């Protein structure tokens, strides 16, 4: 059985690599501001959330940038091909987030609470 460090070190290294690649390939802010998201709803127990759906690379890169707030009943779903905990970059965010990773069956893989914004690359 792998120790927590054996699992987290490769994830941290991957996050840094993804971050560096992201910084080098990020579209200009004017292009990101124009990215549009399809919308949907997600039900978690008795809670219904209105969500923006990030499926394309541009949508995933933009995420919740340029938003001043996220009302309690709203969220964003990032759709990835692989079922794993993928690092989320909090660049240019205006507020902290709770981030939940799900598998394709809706089971919770991981939760990070109160993730703080990143103000610089």
What digits encode the pLDDT tens for the residues 60-70?
Answer: 999 998 889 99
Give the model's pLDDT for residue 8: 53
Instruction: For residue range 35-60, list pLDDT tens digits in order.
Output: 899 999 988 889 899 999 999 999 99
Sign of CA dihedral 3, 85, 106, 104: negative
- CA-nearest of 59, 54, 52, 53 to 27 is 59
Do 51 and 39 contact (CB within 8 A), yes or no?
Answer: yes
DSSP β-bridge partners for residue 112: 99
Give the model's pLDDT for residue 32: 72
Q: What is the CATH number of domain 4-115?
A: 2.60.120
Give the model's pLDDT for residue 44: 83
Q: Which regions in the chain score pLDDT beneath 50? A: 15-16, 20-21, 23-24
Round the average pLDDT of the chain to a whole number and report it. 80
- CA-nearest of 89, 70, 29, 77 to 53 is 77
Give the model's pLDDT for residue 89: 84
Would you kindly state where each structural domain of the chain is located, as residue ranges? 4-115
pTM of the model: 0.69
Pairing status of strand 47-54 against strand 39-44: antiparallel
Residue 18 to residues 65, 105, 112, Cα–Cα distance (Å):
18, 26, 19
Instruction: Give, as one character, the DSSP assignment of residue 107.
Output: -
């Amino acid at each position: 059985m792998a120790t927590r460090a054996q699992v987290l070190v490769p994830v941290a290294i991957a996050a840094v690599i993804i971050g560096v690649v992201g910084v080098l390939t990020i579209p200009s802010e004017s292009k990101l501001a124009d990215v549009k998201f399809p919308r949907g709803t997600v039900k978690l127990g008795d809670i219904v959330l209105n969500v923006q759906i990030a499926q394309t690379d541009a949508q995933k890169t933009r995420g919740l940038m340029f938003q001043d707030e996220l009302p309690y009943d709203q969220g964003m779903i990032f759709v990835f091909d692989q079922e794993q905990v993928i690092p989320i970059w909090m660049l240019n965010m205006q507020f902290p987030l709770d981030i939940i990773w799900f598998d394709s069956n809706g089971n919770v893989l991981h939760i990070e609470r109160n993730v703080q914004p990143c103000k610089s690359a």
